[in-house]
Structure 1
Amino acid sequence: MNISSIVIRCTPEHYDEIKKWCEESGVCEYHFGDKPTGKIIVTIEAEDVNGEIAKLMEIQRVDHVISAEMMMTYQEDLDAAMKELDEAEEVPELLQRCTEEEIDPATVVYHGDLKKKL
C-alpha cells in the first residue's frame, strides 16, 4: 500500500469547487486548505506506484486545477522496492548502447514530457 500527499493549486475563486470535488470524488482524501492562496492538501492511497500516478493524473485533469504535485510518499513494501532497484540494470540498455557508440544519441526520440498534463 502506498500513501502520498498531494498539494493542489487553484485560484481562490475555484477553491470551493475543487475542495468539494476532493471530498466527493473518492480519488483522494481532503485534509486542509487555504482559500486565499488556493492551496489544498490531500492524500491518495493505492496498491502501487502506478495506481498513485493514475490518481495524481486524475486530480491534475480536474477543471480549474492549476497544478497538483506529489510532495511526500510512503511505501509499505519498501524492502521489495529496494530489492527491485538493486537488481535493475545500472545503465539502461539503450543508454549503454549510446555510450558504446552503437547508437547516435541525436537519433533517440523522447516522446515524454514531465510538465505536460495529459
Structure 2
Amino acid sequence: MKIASLVVRVSPEHIDTLKTALVEIPGVEVHGANIEQGRVIVTVEDGEGYAMTDSVLAVNMVRHVLSVTLAYEYTDEGLENEIEHPEPIPGLPLQAADGVGSAQDKEA
C-alpha cells in the first residue's frame, strides 16, 4: 500500500471545478478546502491497475492547479524484510546504537 497527502493550491474561484476534476483521478479523495486561501487537501492511494505516483502526477496536471505540496507519504512495501533489532554499528557504543541510555550515561 502507498498513500500520500497533498495540499493543492488553486485560485479560489476555481475550487469547485478543481474538486470535481480531482475525484475523477483514480485513488484521489478530497478531504477539505479553504476557499479563501485556495487550498484543497487530498489523499492519493494506490490501487488495482494504477500507481499512486501516476495519480499524483495527474493531480499536478489538472487545469487551474497552481502548485501541489506533498504533505505526507507512506508505504508498507519492504516492511516484511525489516530487521526487528539491527546489528550495532562497529565502533559506536551500544547505548548509542540501540537508542538506550542518555547523554549522562555516556559521559560517566
The 5 A counterparts of 1:75-114 are 75-79=75-79
Larger Rg: 2
- Which ranges of 4 or more aligned residues in structure 1 deviate by more than 6 Å? none
- Structure 1 spans left out of the alignment, 5+ residues: 84-118
How big is the alpha-carbon RMSD for the aligned residues of Structure 1 and Structure 2?
Answer: 2.3
Q: CA deviation at 1:81?
A: 8.1
Q: CA deviation at 1:54?
A: 1.4
- TM-score if structure 2 supplies the norm length? 0.64
SS of 1:25's equivalent in the other structure is: coil
CA deviations on 1:36-95 (whole Å, 9 max, x unpaired) are 111000001116xx9222111111011110011221011122526868xxxxxxxxxxxx
Q: Percent identity?
A: 28
Q: CA deviation at 1:27?
A: 4.2
The count of aligned residue pairs is: 81
Q: CA deviation at 1:28?
A: 0.5
For 1:21, the equivalent position in structure 2 comes to 21
Structure having the larger proportion of residues in helix: 1
Alpha carbons 1:56, 1:70 under 8 Å: kept: no
Q: CA deviation at 1:30?
A: 0.6
Structure 2 CA distance for aligned equivalents of residues 67 and 80 of structure 1: 35
- TM-score if structure 1 supplies the norm length? 0.59
